[in-house]
Structure 1
């Protein structure tokens, strides 16, 4: 397991909040904090591939170096004594972060950026990073009213029985233990099924038997973790609801939500499921997306 927490910055307020949050995570673990900024030279070429003026390249390089230096100041103000390394690299943001994530424990990004490095719109840079990174990705989001990143409340984990959900449970217990926080283990399923062809709603038969089965699934997925983490208080939350709706609701009072990148209801080949997409866009606290082992 790597001892590096990686965070990307573009100097925006959201990126700086991500740096501060990542510094706290690195300090709690005793890890190195690596702050990186992209110098996206390829985006500056114009015409038939003519290079941009050298002065423009120098300005971009200096700006990126300034973002990293400011990140280092923020990190040390949050966690004095933390080990910090900064890197400014001539690469487009997505390839840079994905490559750097290969030897990182966690990659941290802001919920929005200037538009060049990070973006609040899923489907652009943030979504690509979450989908392709080689380690868990934390998207730092704040409360809707203040924008502040919460430092209290429970850690919440979404459980659906999929293999990547198993990894999310392991990560969530570790994060809760490090934060001395209770863990809310949510298993939500809807009491309405949709026909895959006609998309017509159908009520599930045998409601009580379905509920009993879902309770057993949640109990099985938590078995053994309490013994491994006796310091973590577990709160089970079983709901007949859509997972994304329940997790978004819980994010209002949580300090962190942990989910798998794609659950058991997703389509084979999808890099991000609908639940993780919704949380990355709309959660009211940081979201940690866990990728499958083979990633």
Structure 2
């Protein structure tokens, strides 16, 4: 049995929706669910009436107990057989969740929040969490189509292997198809080493498409025998990466991307592609870190 599924909660509807998704994920994996609320300094974030070093005296204990109890009820409604544990931690949410990810099988967060979780997806916080979490990080957003496929972003880099493995395992657990999407265009960089290659960059579109087709096929090879129950559909599209992923997510139940990549997915968690997927995907997004620093 692996580590628990961990979900960050702040009492917002977005975080409670994330609890329901996290409970479902824990049920699929046969592991426990750990519900975590983090709060930290400064004193401005403590309700009036008590000192920041005494949260119970400030009335925070009653507030937090109510929030956590509500989260646990939402989890048990979705997955009554899943064991739920609750933890209230003093600390900055980013640091708390990053530490929690070290022993988790999956970290789940909502797309919007209140209090100290506010802005989780509004800049460097989300990028940092997704890039440095020690386990896959799922951001709950949009609507989940339970009949849709798991959408896997493929770029062909060795760093994407953990994301591919995660997507196949997730599709198998969900009883879903896997849609492997690779976007390419004439600006996708590929090295063709040969005596006839000119010293400047030119593109033979047919040759480039064949190369991208081979790349996609090789990225998925070797998984059919391990996951014979997963129906795999390959999608090679000539398009920009961001709109291709966002558009395809409309019919998916989950998008899976790697934390590092090359070609069309270079800088996946450092720039506009990551922002587009995390902010505009029509369903939850899971970022799977390659494991390298």
Give TM-score scaled by structure 2 length: 0.86
Q: Is the 8 A contact 2:52 2:58 kept in 1?
A: no
Q: Is the 8 A contact 1:244 1:275 kept in 2?
A: yes
- How do 1:235-254 and structure 2 match up within 5 A? 235-254=233-252
**C-alpha distance in 2, partners of 1:131/1:222?**
23
What are the Cα deviations for residues 68-104 of structure 1, in whole angstroms up to 9, with x where unaligned? 2211111001011211100001111111000111000
In the alignment, which of 147, 162, 165 is matched to residue 167 of structure 1?
A: 162
- How do 1:45-84 and structure 2 match up within 5 A? 52=52, 54=54, 58-84=58-84
2:177 aligned residue: 182
In structure 2, do the counterparts of structure 1 residues 142 and 57 end up closer, same or farther at CA, with 3 Å as the change threshold? farther
**C-alpha distance in 1, partners of 2:188/2:219?**
23
Counting matched residue pairs gives 278
Q: Per-residue deviation at 1:115?
A: 4.7
Q: Per-residue deviation at 1:273?
A: 4.9
**C-alpha distance in 2, partners of 1:257/1:53?**
41
2:259 aligned residue: 261
Q: RMSD of aligned C-alpha atoms? A: 2.5
Q: Per-residue deviation at 1:209?
A: 0.2
Q: Is the 8 A contact 2:159 2:290 kept in 1?
A: yes
In structure 2, do the counterparts of structure 1 residues 4 and 192 end up closer, same or farther at CA, with 3 Å as the change threshold? same
2:275 aligned residue: 277
Q: Is the 8 A contact 2:9 2:15 kept in 1?
A: yes
2:7 aligned residue: 7
**C-alpha distance in 2, partners of 1:136/1:23?**
16
In the alignment, which of 185, 209, 216 is matched to residue 218 of structure 1?
A: 216
Unaligned runs of 5+ in 1: 144-148, 195-201
Give TM-score scaled by structure 1 length: 0.86
Q: Per-residue deviation at 1:54?
A: 4.6
Unaligned runs of 5+ in 2: 190-199
